[in-house]
Structure 1
Amino acid sequence: MVGKKEDEVQERRVNEDGDGVAWFRGSMIGKGGFGCVYLATLKNPRSKYSCFPSVMAVKSAEVSASGSIQKEREVLSNLRGCPNVIKCFGEETTMGVNGAMVYNLLLEYGSGGTLADRIKKFGNNGLPEVEVKVFAKSILRGLNHIHEIGYVHCDLKPDNILLMPDPKRVNKFRAKIGDFGLTKRAKQSKKRKLEPYWRGTPMYLSPEAVMDNLQDPPCDIWAFGCIVLEMLTGKPPWDENRELSAEEILARIGTGGKLPKIPNDVSKDARDFLKGCFVRKFMYRLTAEMLLNHRFLEGLDDDDEAEEPEEVEDLNEIESILLVSESDDELSCGLYPDEWGALSEEELFYYSSEEDNVEDEIASSTLSEERELKEEHLEPDTGSQFNQPNKKLRQVSLESRQPYPVSFTIPAGVV
């Protein structure tokens, strides 16, 4: 009975937030301080939005409380192009039944669950070491990209590592870094200004984050070491006979001067790999690039990472094209490339240099005669951009011109 009531509340919540222009809002799959995460499915896979995956994850919050999600959108836009970072397909604002404006971030859906789910499935035995290596390499590649762009994730943990089915291997997964709500810019200057608080989950915080509120790329490496240790052992990095409170964990990391315990039954290479992550003085901690070259990850093919499909268009680029056409048919816009310019529908001009020895394949002989007659009546305009040396003025009819697709981006707004 209680479960039925919870389902009814969840269904009502879904309906309240509303659907998008191209997608239906499905069941809730996650919830946090930022808002809620839902499954989303395309309304019409054959529509202009068919370039998107049929299933996505939508992270939603009321616009007035969506600052964290909007910042995540900005970060993901800057991190585009890395196959080890979760993809973002755009943003959209919907209106709920109660009139509330809801901000939605469309993200890649991790159908394999999270790394935390995977570890829990294997119990206290931990994952096979070969699988640990594959996941560790994927995470490091993503982390190296994040640090090169100038960001610090600040909340790296198994719950924020999403697993995707590997199309090249049956029942195998690839890891991608997600949840960038707490991500910050790394300090570029040598003079470090300490923040008034730390970001993240106590279990995975580094000593400098706990003691000095200092979170730069090395703090992500410490958290990554905690993840690898958890994958190998199936237990949290600060596992004890009893469950520790957040205050006790922070005391051990900070003033206690402790290091996570590495079991004796892990391989020698794995032990050395973890020691490079668990260095209390952050300036001596290994970087993501260094760890990628560690012998613990040797023997893995560079092709272990399945090739990513071609980058899909951003939802907001698609929405910009909708300003030209609202049809559900295939979109096309008969404009010339940017350097030719866009003119009126009655007259479409372009100019080219006489140095180009390209024959005009567009205008017919009849059109050439019409052009010559009209040029006789054209008065020279010294201020015109077409009246330049070695430039020839031409006119092409709308029926004979060759269409070229064009796409442009406009800021996201209320749909």
Structure 2
Amino acid sequence: MKGRLGKGATATVYSGIIENRIVAIKQIKLSAYSQGIKYAQATIQREYQIVKELCHPNILRYYGLFFNKENQQVNLIMELVDGVPLTDFVIYVGHVNEEFTAYILRFVLDALGFLHSHGIMHRDIKPDNVLMSMSATIKLIDFGTATKYTPNINRRNSTVGTPWYCAPEVINGEAYDTECDVWSLGCFAVELVSGKPPFDELNEIACLYKMAEGQSPPLPDGISPACASFLSSCFTSDWKKRPTVKELSASPFISSQIPLENEH
């Protein structure tokens, strides 16, 4: 391993070289999980199994998983991205203009479309879980709450995710499908254009009550009709009538976006 890239409550990330490839090595302390070591190990193993075969330019690659019994650690070997979470970017710039918001959304939609076509829901779309590289490449990360499913057969009903970005059907424990990611994407977009997440003034419990009632997040002031239409579509309360990511990609707000030089 080489230098340390970052440190959190449960993990430390280092850069390293494995088989002549520069990678990120995420060392996860299993003892830091309140649910216990076995639960933590199973959760990380499940995350790796879901994404290990995925190969898409806007999804972070996972290369390997190693368990260190002596130190009670799991090492996740991942693609190294020279960039920052969009949370940090939004804090730095205050808010993102609509043109660049549409640019970001187009690649997140591409990533979600790929996941959904492979029977995977992400279930935690938010700025923390999207990286932007120095060349403006967008990468969807963190599949800790992702799940596999069979469309129209085994829908999910577990309550997971982050309150300010959760769809009503997820909070209410109803059966739901990939459209839960669409609602979260709308919340993600609100934070980009306004600089703060929906219902930012509320605490977690109050926010959950608002979302559980199916109350759509208020749209930011001063946005264009195309942006407002895109967000309103994401916040369709009946998930069965909510647009798919493919339909959103064809919306005027996204499809009219002029390609930037750094697109791959």
Kindly indicate whether residue 118 of structure 2 is the aligned counterpart of residue 160 of structure 1.
Answer: no
Over residues 134-170 of structure 1, what are the superposed CA-to-partner deviations in whole Å (9 max), with x where a residue is unaligned?
Answer: 111110000000101001111111101111222xxxx
Aligned position for 2:61: 87
The one of 205, 213, 230 equivalent to 1:273 is: 230
Structure 2 CA distance for partners of 1:30 and 1:137, relative to 1, 3 Å: farther
Give the Cα separation in 1 of the matches to 2:251 and 2:225. 12
Aligned position for 2:199: 238
Give the Cα separation in 2 of the matches to 1:294 and 1:217. 18
Amino acid at match of 1:305: E
Over residues 158-198 of structure 1, what are the superposed CA-to-partner deviations in whole Å (9 max), with x where a residue is unaligned?
Answer: 101111222xxxxxx12111000111123434575x63x40
Q: For the pair shown, which has the larger CA radius of gyration, 1 or 2?
A: 1
User: Does the residue aligned with 2:52 lie in a helix, a strand or coil?
Assistant: helix
Q: Which blocks of at least 5 consecutive residues in structure 1 are unaligned?
A: 1-22, 43-47, 167-172, 307-415
Give the Cα separation in 2 of the matches to 1:57 and 1:163. 19
Aligned position for 2:141: 178
Amino acid at match of 2:171: V
Amino acid at match of 2:225: K
- Equivalences, count: 256
Cα offset for 1:274? 0.7
Amino acid at match of 1:198: T
Aligned position for 2:15: 40
The one of 142, 162, 165 equivalent to 1:201 is: 162
Q: Is the 1:161–1:175 contact (alpha carbons within 8 Å) kept by the matching residues of 2? A: yes
Over residues 181-237 of structure 1, what are the superposed CA-to-partner deviations in whole Å (9 max), with x where a residue is unaligned?
Answer: 111123434575x63x40111111111111234342100000001011110010111
The one of 21, 26, 47 equivalent to 1:72 is: 47
Structure 2 CA distance for partners of 1:209 and 1:187, relative to 1, 3 Å: farther
Amino acid at match of 2:55: G
Q: Which blocks of at least 5 consecutive residues in structure 2 are unaligned?
A: 31-36
Amino acid at match of 2:75: N
Aligned position for 2:242: 285
Amino acid at match of 1:31: G
Q: Is the 1:56–1:106 contact (alpha carbons within 8 Å) kept by the matching residues of 2? A: yes
Give the Cα separation in 2 of the matches to 1:303 and 1:82. 20
Cα offset for 1:304? 5.4
Q: Is the 2:64–2:76 contact (alpha carbons within 8 Å) kept by the matching residues of 1? A: yes
Q: Is the 1:139–1:177 contact (alpha carbons within 8 Å) kept by the matching residues of 2? A: yes
Q: Is the 2:52–2:63 contact (alpha carbons within 8 Å) kept by the matching residues of 1? A: no
Amino acid at match of 1:163: M
Question: Relative contact order (alpha carbons < 8 A, sep ≥ 6): 1 or 2 greater?
Answer: 2
Q: Is the 1:138–1:305 contact (alpha carbons within 8 Å) kept by the matching residues of 2? A: no
Kindly indicate whether residue 97 of structure 2 is the aligned counterpart of residue 140 of structure 1.
Answer: no
Q: Is the 1:86–1:108 contact (alpha carbons within 8 Å) kept by the matching residues of 2? A: yes
Give the Cα separation in 1 of the matches to 2:50 and 2:127. 20
Structure 2 CA distance for partners of 1:112 and 1:185, relative to 1, 3 Å: same
Aligned position for 2:180: 219
Amino acid at match of 2:42: G
Over residues 247-283 of structure 1, what are the superposed CA-to-partner deviations in whole Å (9 max), with x where a residue is unaligned?
Answer: 111111113x411111230011111111110100001
Structure 2 CA distance for partners of 1:70 and 1:278, relative to 1, 3 Å: same
Amino acid at match of 1:61: K
Aligned position for 1:130: 99
TM-score normalized by structure 1? Answer: 0.58
Structure 2 CA distance for partners of 1:285 and 1:159, relative to 1, 3 Å: same
Amino acid at match of 1:67: A
Amino acid at match of 1:182: T
Give the Cα separation in 1 of the matches to 2:12 and 2:200. 30
Matches within 5 A, 1:5-404: 23-24=1-2, 26-27=3-4, 29-32=6-9, 35-42=10-17, 49-50=19-20, 52-53=21-22, 55-62=23-30, 64=38, 65-78=40-53, 80-94=54-68, 99-123=70-94, 126-166=95-135, 173-190=136-153, 195=157, 197-240=158-201, 244-255=202-213, 257-297=214-254, 298-301=256-259, 305-306=263-264
Give the Cα separation in 2 of the matches to 1:191 and 1:108. 31
TM-score normalized by structure 2? Answer: 0.88
Cα offset for 1:72? 1.5
Q: Percent identity?
A: 26
Structure 2 CA distance for partners of 1:155 and 1:299, relative to 1, 3 Å: closer
Aligned position for 1:361: none
